[in-house]
Amino acid sequence: MPDRVAREIMVPVSKYAAVNENDSLKHAIQVLKDSLPSGFRTLIVLDDEGNLAGFLTTRTLLKALGVYGVEEDIWTTDNWGTFFMRIEKERLKKVKVKKIMRPVVKVFVNEDTPVQEVAHVILTSQINHIPVLDKEKKAVGIIRTIDILDVLAGFLED
């Protein structure tokens, strides 16, 4: 872990599974599903200018299903239940990502931040993903808790 910096362990934004904040929930779920074999469990959300606007996690998606349309009585087998289930399903397909994403908080690290400090920021901020900014303050990468774990495992093997 000594002498390693954020730039060395981040996933570049260009390689991260991403959606636009104006994409539909249906599209985002498909992108996330397609990215699972590559190891992504979270999508980055970009605004129309390509800047990092937020994160969309599987947990966020599950919460959205609860908030936007899945109530217990909807799942009954009566005609009204079936009718409302269809309405909610159609409404869910149209929900925009920006309505349910977790916006980027003002927690970030720079490319040259030592990995130990990155780990400290992640722990104290209680976040799972942290943007890595370049000198122009543009997000160039994401560090996930798993990236820190990989570094720690390598450190302990030495």
Query: What are 62-71's pLDDT values in tens digits?
Result: 777 765 554 4
Domain annotation covers residue 109: yes
How high is the pLDDT of residue 8? 94
How high is the pLDDT of residue 84? 46
Give the residue ranges of DSSP H helices in 19-71. 25-35, 58-68
Whole-number average pLDDT of the chain: 82
Domain annotation covers residue 82: yes
Burial degree of 96 (CB within 10 A; 0-12, 13-18, 19+): middle
Of all residues in the chain, what percent carry a pLDDT higher than 90?
A: 43
Query: What are 75-126's pLDDT values in tens digits?
Result: 455 554 554 455 566 677 778 999 989 888 789 999 999 999 999 999 899 8
pTM of the model: 0.75
Domain annotation covers residue 75: yes
CA distance 75 to 10: 42
Domain range for 51 is: 6-157
Domain annotation covers residue 1: no
Instruction: Give the CATH number for residue 69.
Output: 3.10.580.10
The one-letter code for the residue type at 105 is V
Q: Would the pLDDT of 27 be above 50?
A: yes
Number of domains in the chain: 1
Query: 79-94 and 58-68 are packed helices; what angle lies between their axes, rounded to 10 degrees?
Result: 130
